[in-house]
Amino acid sequence: MKQKDIKIPEATIKRLSTYINCLERLDDKGCQVVSSELLGESCQVSPAQIRKDLSYFGEFGVRGVGYATKSLTEEIKVILGLDCIWPTVLVGVGHLGHALLNFTFFREHGYRMVAAFDSDPGKIGTEVEEGLHIQPIEKLVETASREKAAIGIVTVPASSAQSTADLLVEAGVRGILNFAPFKVRVPDNITLRNVSIVSELDNLAYLLSNKKPRRRLKKKK
């Protein structure tokens, strides 16, 4: 095991999250042991990359054999902090917010939606999910801090993103996942991640418009 506190590449963390998925699927197929080669095949990552990623955190495999599917899954969950429940709140129950609230995957993977807020009076009280009623934005600080929400998801329009983030910080959340196309500012001790679906599509458009049939990039100089 390497020592703690060396910098772990962000890309490694992203891959670990996908490994869990692939491992669970392989486990469903009856695979009790996986090699880095097989796992790599299944999640389209090179075997060496997988071993390197894991080696940042310890030794989880058996040389000559591979990794025990179930226990590796658990180990990775521990690494990512998914072995506990993260109380989460969502602000802005519009189209996207509604989709996220109904995304069962989250619940199955360590996140618990403890409250949802919106500023539209017409939406207050609506049940968006088993036992979860939309609350007025004015209740955010009170409710979120009472529920000890650790994560806040922002799905309000860009123009309200900053004020929403401010409320979440006031309520004591430690991390914010922002879907609005606006770069909000938060204090240093708050972890912020932006998800830009538009950028993903734009990236696709870029690749398509610059890909001439069969052209190969990578030309040096």
Ligand X SMILES: NC(=O)c1ccc[n+]([C@@H]2O[C@H](COP(=O)([O-])OP(=O)(O)OC[C@H]3O[C@@H](n4cnc5c(N)ncnc54)[C@H](O)[C@@H]3O)[C@@H](O)[C@H]2O)c1
List contacts with DNA (CB under 7 A). Answer: 1-2, 7, 9-12, 34-37, 46-49, 51-52, 54-55, 59-67, 218
Q: Which does 67 bind (CB under 5 to 8 A by kind): ligand X, DNA, its own copies, none?
A: DNA
- Residue 152 as a binder of ligand X (CB under 6 A): the answer is no
Report phi then psi at 206, rounded to 5: -60, -50
Q: Which does 164 bind (CB under 5 to 8 A by kind): DNA, its own copies, ligand X, none?
A: ligand X
Nearer to DNA, 48 or 85 (CB): 48
**Which residues have a Cβ under 8 Å from the Cβ of 216 and sit 6 or more positions away?**
none
Cα 137 to Cα 163: distance, rounded to the nearest angstrom: 11
- Residue 92 as a binder of ligand X (CB under 6 A): the answer is yes
Question: Least distance from C-beta 221 to its own copies, angstroms?
Answer: 7
Q: Which does 119 bind (CB under 5 to 8 A by kind): ligand X, its own copies, DNA, none?
A: ligand X
- Residue 206 as a binder of its own copies (CB under 8 A): the answer is yes
Three-state SS at 159: helix
Closest CA to 132 of 150, 156, 116: 116
**Token digits of residue 94:** 């519009």
Report CA-CA distances (Å) from 114 to 90, 144, 154. Answer: 9, 8, 14
Cα 164 to Cα 158: distance, rounded to the nearest angstrom: 10
- Residue 40 as a binder of ligand X (CB under 6 A): the answer is no
- Residue 187 as a binder of its own copies (CB under 8 A): the answer is no
Cα 173 to Cα 186: distance, rounded to the nearest angstrom: 11
Note the residues at the interface with ligand X (CB under 6 A).
91-97, 99-100, 102-103, 105, 117-120, 137, 155-158, 160, 163-164, 179-181, 197
